[in-house]
């Protein structure tokens, strides 16, 4: 990977619907990228590409503020439940959001306004497609793994084939055109439509449900985001 990233800092492009897509030419995509909507699971490999994570952090400006993030709230604009442990009025409970319990160690990142807007788009699509709050948790966790909730455009030479958007969906695998899969509403709806075709997805662990849709090389990576995804959904639902 080249040393000088200054030429490749994000270019923000907005389509006619003013959906924001982040395009980083020459920056590696995150591990665990989507293939086709209906394919059998891929074998497990060693884990997410650390260089890819670092590159997207740098391109999105995260690296510049990493030293200060430890002192900041883990979720910008979000809380994590009441002091009594009960969900706010009208919000889904922890048991509804995480019915099978947490799988393994959990990861958590701060969220900026762009990430929160994309999270809201995913939650709205979950409501419209009828997958409910549990489906929304699966969708948010999947996007946290695939793109850190950034609506990524094509990443140039380091792109994973033609993967783009919140879920790193591929036009060549039938997910839609580049314009469609970088529209948060469209990409989330496509993800949930595929999830609904997974038999018994409501009863599956999150990582299994997500992997059946995404067909990632890193099928167990989704589980690490379940707790933060549940917190996000509980606040935005």
Per-residue pLDDT for 57 more than 50? yes
Closest CA to 159 of 6, 38, 8: 8
For residues 230 and 49, the model is more confident at: 230
For residues 93 and 39, the model is more confident at: 93
For residues 62 and 154, the model is more confident at: 154
Instruction: Find the range with the poorest average confidence among 133-137, 213-217, 228-232.
Output: 213-217
For residues 168 and 62, the model is more confident at: 168
* Across 123-128, average pLDDT: 98
* Tokens at 72, concatenated: 């900041």
Question: What's the rounded Cα separation, in Å, for the pair 49 and 79?
Answer: 30
Per-residue pLDDT for 16 more than 70? no
The distance from CA 39 to its chain's CA centroid, rounded to whole angstroms, is: 20
Q: What is the mean pLDDT of the chain?
A: 75
Domain ranges of the chain: 6-73+108-236
pTM over cut 0.85: no
* Tokens at 6, concatenated: 């200054």
Per-residue pLDDT for 114 more than 80? yes
Q: What is the pLDDT of residue 158?
A: 61
* Across 102-122, average pLDDT: 96
Per-residue pLDDT for 192 more than 90? yes
* Tokens at 116, concatenated: 């929160």
| Helix/strand/coil (H/E/C) assignment for every residue in 126-174 | HHHHCCHHHHHHHHHHHHHHHHCCCCECCCHHHCCCCCECCCCECHHHC
* Across 198-224, average pLDDT: 94
H-only helix segments in the chain:
50-59, 66-69, 94-97, 113-129, 132-147, 178-181, 184-196, 206-214, 226-236
Q: What is the pLDDT of residue 26?
A: 37
| 1 SS3 class | coil
Closest CA to 84 of 72, 76, 93, 75: 93
Per-residue pLDDT for 59 more than 50? no
Helix (H) or strand (E) holding 21: strand 20-23
For residues 22 and 14, the model is more confident at: 22
Per-residue pLDDT for 41 more than 80? no
Question: What's the rounded Cα separation, in Å, for the pair 191 and 22?
Answer: 19
In the chain, what percentage of residues exceed pLDDT 70? 62
Instruction: Among 51-55, 73-77, 188-192, name the most confident range.
Output: 188-192
Q: What is the pLDDT of residue 217?
A: 82
């Amino acid at each position: 990977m080249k040393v000088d990233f200054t030429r490749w800092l994000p270019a923000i492009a907005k389509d006619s619907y003013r959906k924001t897509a982040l395009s980083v030419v020459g920056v590696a995509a995150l591990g665990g990228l989507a293939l086709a909507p209906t394919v059998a699971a891929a074998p497990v490999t060693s884990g997410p590409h650390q260089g890819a994570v670092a590159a997207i952090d740098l391109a999105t400006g995260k690296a510049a503020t990493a030293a200060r993030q430890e002192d900041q709230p883990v979720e910008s604009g979000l809380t994590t439940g009441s002091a009594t442990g009960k969900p706010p009025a009208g919000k889904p409970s922890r048991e509804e959001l995480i019915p099978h319990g947490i799988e393994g160690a959990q990861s958590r990142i701060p969220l900026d306004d762009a990430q929160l807007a994309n999270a809201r788009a995913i939650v709205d699509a979950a409501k419209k497609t009828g997958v409910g709050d549990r489906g929304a948790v699966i969708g948010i966790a999947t996007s946290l793994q695939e793109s850190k909730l950034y609506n990524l455009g094509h990443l140039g030479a380091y792109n994973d084939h033609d993967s783009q958007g919140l879920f790193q969906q591929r036009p060549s695998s039938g997910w839609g055109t580049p314009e469609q899969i970088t529209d948060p509403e469209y990409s989330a709806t496509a993800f949930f439509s595929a999830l609904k075709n997974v038999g018994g997805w409501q009863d599956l662990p999150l990582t299994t449900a997500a992997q059946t849709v995404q067909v990632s090389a890193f099928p167990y990576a989704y589980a690490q985001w379940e707790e933060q995804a549940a917190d996000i959904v509980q606040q935005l639902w």
